[in-house]
Amino acid sequence: MEKTFVMVKPDGVKRGLTSAIMQRFESKGFRLCGAKLMQMSETLAKTHYEEHKERPFFGDLTKFITSGPVFAMVLEGEGVIDEARKMIGKTDPKEAAPGTIRGDYAILKSENIIHGSDSPESADREIALYFTKEELIEDRSSTRV
């Protein structure tokens, strides 16, 4: 079953939005395979955002993402990668539609509450960066009520 990696960023955790965000994905019908509150190291931050390492905002981005605990999640369900990105909304919260997570909870591009994998390749890479196989409970579709 398709899986994605979603992470409430330090601003979201600090503002107490973790459960409200998790609720949206669960209510939609996606299943939680794994979740943890954690402090990202500088090394993990640089690896996670490796694709942006030449961009001018890279330093601020890694500083921000390590500024406090994050809440990492793996979600499972049909089309979850694209659907979670839709639910998250555009990168700049000012352009994110109302009803999306960024549209409803954020104002600044640099503090946009949540991360979600942008492709199947990113999802595989990011899930492996944050979770061991043992930490994930996979494919519960047959036990779904």
When computed from its CA atoms, the radius of gyration of the chain, rounded to whole angstroms, is 14
Does the annotation place 86 within a ligand binding site?
no
CB 49 within 8 A of CB 32: no
Is 52 marked active-site? no
Does the annotation place 144 within a ligand binding site?
no
Residue numbers of the site for ligand RTP (CB under 6 A)? 52, 57, 61, 91, 109-110, 112, 115-116, 118
Q: How far is the CB of 119 from ligand RTP (least distance, A)?
A: 10
**Closer to ligand RTP at the Cβ: 109 or 136?**
109
Indicate the helix (H) or strand (E) that contains 116: strand 114-116
Does the annotation place 46 within a ligand binding site?
no
Q: How far is the CB of 144 from ligand RTP (least distance, A)?
A: 27
C-alpha dist (Å) from residue 129 to 45, 100, 136, 144, 145: 10, 26, 13, 28, 31
Known binding-site positions for ATP: 9, 57, 85, 91, 102, 112
